[in-house]
Structure 1
């Protein structure tokens, strides 16, 4: 079966897995809360006060944190109706790829560890920007390139040994260098993208797999191998995971996107030629024309 170049993920499968995970997601609440708290720390950097917030894919941890910050209206949207029902805000089943909101519906939008399952991220960002009021804030976190790298390499090594080839068994993740550009293309003002590590350790390899399933984060790549994997694949892969005295380290690279809906009150770059002071004077340097040699 062929797919559009924009179709990387099986969105129906993502929804079904999040439906099932609605009953188990509390098992991974500490990891989700740690990511959400780091994301919402950005709210402490602004004096702007928000009254209408949309949180996407918060899985029960984001809405309570927004309400604790005094935001009176919080809508919790999720691809899964079951997950949305337990998210903590006004529940809404909706698709990030086709947002069901009128323009300028919210002054704050937060997406914590959910947009990495979107096929058309540039298109979704355009819709999110339109749903913001002028001077509204968009915050999102995504797992970035390098996340679950230990598991990716272990599975690849085991499958190569058993089948002589590879199939995608861990989701592809975005690179930090692409995110600020995507925000700018979507029409956000003052776009910023940064990343940090979120250290996670497991006592056993199976605990890692259980947590991925509990969070609804199992493989949903359209190009995944539909065949039953060799019986030895998982034991061989899990046995090769690196470990130390403290357990099995797992990389979670957290990428954060920040952008504002444009507003006339925001700072803007000065017009070319509008400066009233020389850069050379400010730096205490001697100015030379192009091509002129020093000395």
Structure 2
């Protein structure tokens, strides 16, 4: 029992940057308190002591704002962040390393007895306010977006968003060959590859597409260079220079710099500075 509690505390420390020490987690985290209550209540439920289990689960709900039916099966390293308003039904099953945020419901859609609540695989993350309803399965590694309503099975590694929820993307497997290749290309050009994310992001998708394009272009250029060398040609073997962030001037043009510098001079209006910058720019460009 105490070994499992220590494991749960480490789990909170790993997933919540606001957790400062084990004592704080043990004394102030309602998600951990609800989980400890549930383990005791689930043991009572399994021994046939149904009324005491329900009674103490009600006490736990009063104290934590989290309602977990004592019949629910919950795996190891389960983390409820904040927790207020979380509801987990009787026949729900939760795998290992699952994270739920506040307002999540693992509920049923039928009054019939039997399996009527969802089953979550390992390493599932459910965002705040999401509802997963019915005897459906959520595959391992899946992500459910905030306020989504999931009514059908979720594939492994999928990201679900919307009402009703739909698959917005599928996460690649950890340390996949695709991710390693993108990271290598990013390092080659001096770029920090932030394009791998858990949630669908148009910017991240665009970055990944650019890295893939660079990879294909490099491969074709290398083939061309080898062919030229095979025909006796001389191809310079130069290194691609790294991109320095300091060299990027946030897109400020030469004329914008002129206007800014002119406006900084004492007694110079913005219109006068703009006209003077236009004149200097025309003189240099001959236009």
Same fold flag (TM > 0.5)? no
Structure with greater proportional helix content: 2
- What is the TM-score when the length of structure 2 is the normalising length? 0.24
Q: Which has the higher strand share?
A: 1
Structure number with greater CO (CA < 8 Å, separation at least 6) is 1
